[in-house]
Structure 1
């Protein structure tokens, strides 16, 4: 595996590979890698000749500086995992390389996606996501990119970024199903910050999503959302939202017609750690 920290160096290397006719797939990450990330790389390697992974803890998508400071950084372990998984290229830049002189890129038109669910609780988060993904896509210029369904709203935001940026029009985006622990907990870098007791409680989020799926029927959604929130609160969660939304637009659905595809989304704190998860329920 080759490791690059400079934009010019990785661009030069990848251009040589592309000139040879090799296709490039790309998996952007913020490190603290786990099996979920490796499943993205595995899917990437199946679809493309070369698998490129980036590790960059992007400061512009953190609206809480304490959350940025606490974000786990495990680069030596990450490198070992990537080598063993057959990664071809790792891009591991410093903040100054990605944002010289504090440079901020354009403002992105995300429509309602920017203010729903995660957007409502993390102002500016998705602008920061788009800033870094725009830069990374422009640097790597991949044929295909791979993201995890666990960050469902982020996937919708990135899909909009691709669809509204002419330079990215040829990029094929694949959303890979969420990897879960045996108890149902969605794999996440943030799980490392949970205490042992909290790890026992954390699967309640997935159990609550399954409850929503099982209780779903045509008509008003308020009752089952309230019941789901109560389930979380009884297990010591502090809930930001329990949402049921159109699976394509993420517009909240208050009264279901029994036909429209739906996704359930949850964000809740367990102790100091904020966890998110989702499930397509119809």
Structure 2
């Protein structure tokens, strides 16, 4: 695996790489990331990954400075997964001058759910992903479904901007007890890690109830929030939404997804399940 720290080096390597699949990350890789890398390798001649902790998507008081940086271990995992090129720029390469141009996602899509609790987050995500796609110029880009709203925002950006890249969603990878794999799971204490699967169990309960014909979505959401709060969590939201735009469903035959975010101790966990 070749490691590239500059745009010029990465572009030179990409020029003769054939069909390219790209998987952007912020590092601290887990099996969810590696699954995406393997899926990318099945679809393309060359897999390019990136590791860049993007300051633009972190709000005030969020965990930019303490976000885990495990570069050496990440490189070993990427090489074992068949990644051929790793783009690992520092901030001066990605932002050699103040980033005055930004991608502004549709307000209706980013003022809800995660956007309500993390204002400006998706602006930062969309801006860095647009920049990375321009740098790498891949044929395919893979993003995990665990960050469901992010996947929607980026898919819509690529489509509306007529970018010549196909977005491939990857299913959420889970631990044996159901907890969605996340770089932030490492913040959990042993006790919190044992309690963390409750979020997934509640989502499963809502999914199963809706499939069984329970149409009182507000009660399902409210009861699940109350269960989390009673168990010592600090829930931000549990919401059943349309998959297409994450708005409240107009008809229950719309394809649906249930999404959740809650703090357990100091760690904020997100998850979702398609219904």
TM-score normalised per structure 2: 0.96
Aligned to 1:152: 148
Deviations for 1:8-59, whole angstroms, at most 9, x for unmatched residues? 1101111132xxxx10000000000000000000000000000000000000
Aligned to 1:233: 229
8 A Cα contact 1:29 1:53, kept in partner = yes
Q: Find the partner of 2:196 among 198, 202, 206.
A: 202
Aligned to 1:128: 124
Q: Distance between the aligned counterparts of 1:32 and 1:65, measured in 2?
A: 20
My pick for the range that moved more, 196-205 or 219-228, is: 219-228
In the alignment, structure 1 residue 272 sits paired with structure 2 residue 271: no
Aligned to 1:87: 83
In the TM superposition, 1:43-58 aligns within 5 A as: 43-58=39-54
Deviations for 1:230-264, whole angstroms, at most 9, x for unmatched residues? 121122110010111001110023xx643111100
Aligned to 1:7: 7
The count of corresponding residues between Structure 1 and Structure 2 is 273
Give, in angstroms, the shift of residue 66 of structure 1.
Answer: 4.1
8 A Cα contact 1:118 1:153, kept in partner = yes
Gaps of 5+ in 1: none
Change (3 A) 1:97 1:65: farther
Q: Distance between the aligned counterparts of 1:163 and 1:257, measured in 2?
A: 25
In the TM superposition, 1:248-259 aligns within 5 A as: 248-253=244-249, 257-259=251-253
Give, in angstroms, the shift of residue 268 of structure 1.
Answer: 0.3
Aligned to 1:108: 104
Give, in angstroms, the shift of residue 104 of structure 1.
Answer: 3.2
Aligned to 2:28: 32
Local SS of the residue matching 1:45: helix
Aligned to 1:191: 185
Gaps of 5+ in 2: none
8 A Cα contact 2:105 2:126, kept in partner = no
Give, in angstroms, the shift of residue 220 of structure 1.
Answer: 3.3
Deviations for 1:52-103, whole angstroms, at most 9, x for unmatched residues? 0000000000013441112111111101111111110000000111111222
8 A Cα contact 2:105 2:122, kept in partner = no
Q: Distance between the aligned counterparts of 1:42 and 1:57, measured in 2?
A: 22
Change (3 A) 1:241 1:144: same
8 A Cα contact 1:6 1:93, kept in partner = yes
8 A Cα contact 1:218 1:258, kept in partner = no
In the alignment, structure 1 residue 242 sits paired with structure 2 residue 238: yes
Local SS of the residue matching 1:100: coil
In the alignment, structure 1 residue 59 sits paired with structure 2 residue 17: no
Aligned to 2:136: 140
Q: Distance between the aligned counterparts of 1:120 and 1:103, measured in 2?
A: 23
Q: Distance between the aligned counterparts of 1:30 and 1:136, measured in 2?
A: 12
Local SS of the residue matching 1:67: coil
